[in-house]
Amino acid sequence: MLRKQPNLSAKLAAQCKRLIFQFYDSWQAKKENPLQVLFTRLH
């Protein structure tokens, strides 16, 4: 279980980075508030 943790956290970090870049890109494109984008994606 401990051996699988680093791989899992690396996957999570990559996913978070991808999401952040997605939010940043959409914010740059539409000049939207990233929090607003996050809110609409969650709901």
| Tens-digit pLDDT string for the chain (43 aa) | 556 777 888 999 999 999 988 888 877 777 666 677 777 777 6
28 residue type, one letter = Q
C-beta of residue 7 within 8 angstroms of C-beta of residue 14: no
Residue 27 burial (C-beta neighbours within 10 Å; 0-12, 13-18, 19+): middle
Q: Residue 22 has what pLDDT?
A: 87
Q: Would you list the DSSP string of the chain?
A: -TTHHHHHHHHHHHHHHHHHHHHHHHHHHH---HHHHHHHHH-
